[in-house]
Amino acid sequence: IDRAAVRVVRTLLAFTEAKDPQEYSAALCACEAHIALAREVAEKSITLLKNETHTLPFDATQTKKVVLVGDLGAVQNIGDHGSSHIMRAKADTVLEALKQRFGVENVTFIKTKDVGASVDKVYSADAVIIMAGMRHSDEGEYISTSTKIGGDRKVTLGLQPGDIEMIRQVGRINKNTAVVLIGGSMVMVDPWFEAVPAVVMAYYPGVQGGLATTRVLFGDVNPSGKIPFVIPHQESDLPQVDWLADEQVYGYYHGYAKLDKEGIQPKLPFGHGLSYTTFELSGSRLKSNLAGVAIFEVEVKNVGTCAGGEVVQLYSGWN
């Protein structure tokens, strides 16, 4: 409690002494270093959820024709339009990144509503990318039904019906197909998960999200992200929300701890994330345990065929 209080007071004092409004040089806004950092953050966050028969990464040397399916492929996926809204820099899109990489004439964009009439294009492509997920209107902060601002995902934690149907229609037509999920939190992957060979969670990848996503899909970057939530088989495995209630009370256990306590197997566990390479962990040991702080060490070795990073996870508990 004392440490928490110090952090709060320290922050208050810092802002009391700071100028208001904060003054930043115009040269810092969307500067080259910040844009590069945004791309690096996105690349290190993107999480590979599924990769049947090593569908990903797509073979960049053999890819000539790319098909991008889904409206979100041409959208700046930067999050809600509130505190995370990017106002100083023009965000890219996956469609723009693909055209820059492969040429305008080699990239075909298919809107969600036109999928049914575009099966032949999907079948003949060297790589198929399906974009599905959330917009700010789906999970931005809910304000009112009259203004239609925000969504808070009141109906379902899964994809919109149109996205599910889109994946079912074209997910298995071409073996070189991957779904890229957009969203700021957990997305239910049933009932469409088995209808596609590869799935990537890109979250809201930000101002350089299109380029970062493309670089991961085509193997320039090894995905090393891990999901910071559990994905259950059904929504009823999670705490339920009463949207009309004046108060909402959650029990002691929620998220992955709730499923673990109740002995429920998740669809994808907390901390899940695949890789294009393989890591070996060895020599784990407790280095020190002084003043109530335990320090662990482990040796991490990349024994695969490509460069990449790994997130080492340590879980502790008691009975």
The residue-averaged pLDDT of 203-222 equals 96
From residue 119, alpha-carbon distances to 86, 156, 170, 191 in Å are 36, 28, 7, 21
Residue-wise pLDDT for 86-138, tens only, equals 666 789 999 999 999 999 999 999 999 999 999 999 999 999 999 999 988 88
Residue-wise pLDDT for 240-280, tens only, equals 888 778 888 888 888 899 999 999 999 999 999 999 999 99
The residue-averaged pLDDT of 20-45 equals 84
pLDDT over 60 (residue 145): no
Alpha-carbon torsion angle 97, 100, 277, 58, nearest 10: 100
SS3 call for 180:
strand
Sheet (strand 127-133) strand order:
47-51, 198-203, 177-182, 127-133, 66-69, 107-110
Please tell me the predicted confidence (pLDDT) of residue 319: 62
The residue-averaged pLDDT of 15-36 equals 78
Confidence of residue 232 (pLDDT cuts 50, 70, 90): very high
Centre a 10 Å sphere on the Cβ of residue 144 and count the other Cβ atoms it contains. Answer: 8
Please tell me the predicted confidence (pLDDT) of residue 156: 86
Choice between 292 and 173, residue whose per-residue pLDDT is larger: 173
Please tell me the predicted confidence (pLDDT) of residue 190: 93
Confidence of residue 194 (pLDDT cuts 50, 70, 90): very high
Please tell me the predicted confidence (pLDDT) of residue 111: 97
Confidence of residue 36 (pLDDT cuts 50, 70, 90): very high
